[in-house]
Each structure stands twice: as C-alpha cells, then as structure tokens.
Amino acid sequence: MASTEVVVIGGGAAGFFGAIHAAQAPHTRVTLLEAGRQPLAKVRISGGGRCNVTHHCFEPSQLVLNYPRGSKALRGAFSQFQALDVVRWFNAEGVKLKTEADGRMFPVTDDSETIVEALMFAAKKAGVVLRNNVLVQKIERLGDNKFDVILKNGENILCDRLLLATGSSPSGYAIARSLGHELEPPVPSLFTFNIKDSKLHELAGVSVNPATVKLLISNSNPEKKKSARNQLEQSGALLITHWGLSGPAVLKLSAWAARELHDCNYQAKLAVNWIPSLKVEAIKQILLSAKTEQPKKFVSNYCPVDISLRLWEYLLDKAEVELEKRWADISNRAIQQIVNVLSASEYAIAGKGVFKDEFVTCGGIRLQDVNFQTMESKICQGLFFAGEVLDIDGVTGGFNFQSAWTTAWIAAQGINAEFYSPLPIAKNADQ
Ligand SMILES: Cc1cc2nc3c(=O)[nH]c(=O)nc-3n(C[C@H](O)[C@H](O)[C@H](O)COP(=O)(O)OP(=O)(O)OC[C@H]3O[C@@H](n4cnc5c(N)ncnc54)[C@H](O)[C@@H]3O)c2cc1C
C-alpha cells in the first residue's frame, strides 16, 4: 500500500502535537518543517519558563468560557479532546503535571524544557521527520489533489495532506490566503495597560484581589449584544506596576476587548472598582459610620474598608480630600467623592504594555471556513489547520496551549480518517 505523505508546517506546540498523532497511523509519513533554528521556541519561553501546559478545567462547557474568540467552535472540539486528555497524554509520556491554586497546570519540574523534551521524544518515537531551518515559502495545489510545498532553499516536497500550524506568522497567513482562505485581521491580545499617573506608579507592587476593571469606550457599538458589552468588564486580581496596571483582571480585559482596544489605538478610559464586593450605598454607609465612630482619627490613618493604607492614601488624594483632616470634619460631599474613587476611579489608558509570561494573537483563519470535526479546510481539500493560526485565542492560564493541543489532535484524526472522504474542491482552491 502506498504511504500517505503528510507535511506539517510549523514546529510549535500545535505542529508537534499534530505531527506526533498523525504519525501513529500505518502507511503515513510525516515531515515537520520549522523555519527556526530550533523548534518549540514559544513552549520554551512560555509561562515565564515554566510552561503553563493547560488549565485544571475538565468540563468542556466551562473550558470554552475562557476563549474570547473561538468558544463556540471549541465546544465540540473539547468534547473530542480536552484538558484531561492532555494531562493523561503527558502522564503517559512520563511528564507529571501539577495544579496551582488558580487552576494553571505546569510540569512538576517547573521547567518548560520538560515539555520540550517530551514532545521531541514523542515525535522521534513516532518516526516524524523533523527539519529545522526550513522556511516554507509557497504551496502549489496540483491537479491530482496533491500539494507542492516549495521551500525558500529552492527545494520542494510533494504531499497528500498539509497541516498548517504556523502560529501568528505572516508567512503562514500568506500561505492560507494563497489557498483561498480569508483572515480575521490579526491584532495583539493579552497585554497590560500603560497609565500616565506618577502617583499610581509609586504604588508599584500593590495588588488588590478582587478588583473590577471596566472599559469605557464611548463609540462602543450599541447594537452589540449585552453579553458582549458585559465582557468589557472583568474581575480578578489587579496589580499596580511602574507603568500602569496589570494582573489577571487587566489581562482578561485586554483579551476580551482586544479588537476594541486596537480600534481606538489603545487610548481609552478605564474605570476601576477597588472593592467590588461592596455596593456603592454600602460603601457610603461604612464611611458615614467611620465619621461618627472614629471622629478624632485622621482620615489618612484610618481606612474603614479592606484596602491597604498606602492605596487608601492615594485614593484620598485622587478624591481631593485633605489627608490631615479628622473624620469628624469630612463633609458629605467629600464622602461622596471617596465613594466615587473607591467604586469607579477613572484612568486614561495611554497604550499597551508587555506581559512577558504570555502573549497571543487575536484573529487568523476564519473559523466558518474550517470543519471542526476534522480541522480540514472547507475551501481546500486536504488542507488542515491547528493552533494559533486560527481565529482562536484564550485568556491567560494555559488556555492557549489547550486549544493548540485540541485542534492539533483533531487535525491528526482528520488527516488519518480511515474512510477519508474528500470534500468537493471549491473554485478558488486550485489557484
Ligand atoms: C512569551 C509567551 C509565553 C506564553 N506562555 C503561554 C503559557 O504559559 N500557556 C499558554 O497556554 N500559552 C502561552 N503562550 C501562548 C502560546 O505559546 C501559543 O498560543 C502557542 O505557542 C501557539 O502554538 P502554535 O504551534 O499554534 O504556534 P507557534 O508556537 O507560534 O508555532 C508556529 C511555528 O511555525 C513556524 N513557522 C511559521 N511560519 C513558517 C513557515 N512559513 N515555514 C516553516 N515554519 C514556519 C514558526 O517558526 C513557529 O515555530 C505564550 C506565548 C508567548 C509569546
């Protein structure tokens, strides 16, 4: 029986996982092409060098809630291969994962090299032919349903199935376009907020958990569904930095509002609720009680709500309340001003900052053009997709690798489907 030639473009998490599983089938030869000198570059640096492999969330309907883009398509995909399957797979490869208090899962070694080695070893065991330093420049569709993979060095490789796992690389997007696919425009996701406020910067290192951050976008589309508008408000730990705000609440908001923030060039208003557990009226009552119960205390020395004294002083200053005043002398107007800064301090976002532990691209291959039962293109028969090249991205916490493992695993099953039934070739697939 003639062997099936499979070429996987991209030696990242998705490319490796897809190649390893595609190579399990008999009569299948898998060649994995990586442009870089070393494969798995992002796995190495991921999770601050520890690799946050997945998230301890083993219920597909819950898991999908962590994807600003792709949640609907991933619902069925996770019922085929989910976080628990990833844990089991790594376990079988000798890699034990541990779960941290917030649900993130890491190798027990706390070293991403453990994951790199496991993937490299599994690929070798499966007989995957790995070629580094090989940039795929172009793909030509041949009349007999084969692909001609043209490399930058002038070489070419013929194959029957092609898995595009090129992450957010422009060359991967160009290949997809040349085969008839359209893209949702790629823009960054998972970033911190730059805020020009030197007094806030002095509090660098202070964190508040939970806080709520809400994006105030004036031109926000009123047609947008209420659920989508709600996603412009996120809660979680908030970290003050030397340049502005970070922490899970901000990172989640940057992901859910990635497109809105890009469209306003990262210049927007943000409202921070420093004590979301209390309603506005309850905060007011607590402050009024402080006035009657602690009248002699200086307002700067006595904070009646659950935030640090340093943050309290900063917020009093923001509310334009004199720090030397005693509680007895605080006017009702000043009480209202303090309520306002505690529940809705406004900041001007003046740009995006980096988050070194994780970064991902929003946008990519349009999901309606991909069959999520197999990850095969609906436009170009024999072409499969996996990983970040797709218009899928998750919030921080291991969700981005999870979608890479899942889509790659499904693509491998699609590539190897015993009764592979070719799709009718669309008009533009032969170009
Ligand atoms: C600093 C950082 C930390 C992160 N940490 C985490 C984390 O802890 N947990 C998590 O879930 N997510 C994390 N992410 C996100 C995660 O790394 C990505 O979502 C994931 O790596 C995507 O995998 P991929 O295989 O689709 O793409 P990539 O990892 O980007 O791999 C694509 C590969 O394709 C190659 N390539 C591209 N074009 C061509 C071509 N034309 N020819 C040949 N090769 C090509 C590239 O060189 C690259 O190696 C992190 C990202 C960053 C940047």
- What is the Å distance from ligand 1's center to 42 Cα? 5
- For the record, the structure tokens of 115 come out as 């994951």
Best probe residue, ligand 1, of 391, 400, 402, 409 (max atoms within 8 Å of C-beta): 400
CA atoms within a 13 Å half-sphere pointing along the CA-CB vector of 4:
20
| Beta carbon of 18 within 6 Å of any ligand 1 atom | no
Nearest CA to ligand 1 atom 33: 10
- Mutate which of 42, 149, 393 to test ligand 1's pocket (most atoms within 8 Å of Cβ)? 42
Neighbours of 352 (CB within 10 A): 19
- Contact at 8 Å (CB) between 204 and 242? yes
What's the 356 CA to ligand 1 centre distance in angstroms? 14
User: What b/e sequence results for 397-415 when a residue is b if at least 16 CB atoms lie within 10 Å of its CB, and e otherwise?
Assistant: bbbbbbbbbbbbbbbbbbb
Question: pLDDT value at position 222?
Answer: 56
Q: Is the CB of 51 under 6 A from ligand 1?
A: yes
Q: What is the pLDDT of residue 235?
A: 96
Neighbours of 43 (CB within 10 A): 21
Q: Is 70 near ligand 1, meaning CB less than 6 Å away?
A: no
* CB of 206 closer than 6 angstroms to any ligand 1 atom: no
- Residue 426 is predicted with a pLDDT of 40
Query: Which pLDDT score is estimated for 427?
Result: 36
Ordered structural domains, the chain, with CATH: 4-187+359-430 (3.50.50.60), 191-276 (2.40.30), 280-346 (1.10.8)
Cβ(60) to ligand 1 under 6 A?
no
Residues listed for the chain: 431
Q: Does any ligand 1 atom lie closer than 6 A to the CB of residue 403?
A: no
Q: Which atom of ligand 1 is nearest to the CA of 10?
A: 34
Ligand 1: which atom is nearest the Cα of residue 386? 26
pLDDT at position 258: 97
Measured CA to CA, the distance from residue 263 to residue 19 in angstroms comes to: 37
- The closest-lying atom of ligand 1 relative to the alpha carbon of residue 33 is 43
Per-10-residue mean pLDDT of the chain, 431 residues long, equals 91 98 95 98 97 98 98 98 98 98 97 98 98 98 93 97 98 98 97 97 97 82 59 94 96 96 96 97 98 96 96 98 96 97 97 89 98 97 97 97 98 82 41 28
6 burial type by CB count under 10 A (0-12 exposed, 13-18 middle, 19+ buried): buried
Q: Strands across the sheet with 129-131, in order?
A: 129-131, 28-33, 4-9, 161-164, 383-385, 376-377, 370-371
SS3 labels along 323-348: CCCEHHHCCHHHHHHHHHHHHHEEEE
- Note the pLDDT of residue 2: 76
Q: Could you give the CA distance from residue 22 to residue 24 in angstroms, rounded to a whole number?
A: 5
User: Is the C-beta atom of 47 inside 6 A of ligand 1?
Assistant: yes
- pTM, rounded to two decimals: 0.93
Quote the CA–CA distance of 246 and 225 in Å, as a whole number.
Answer: 27
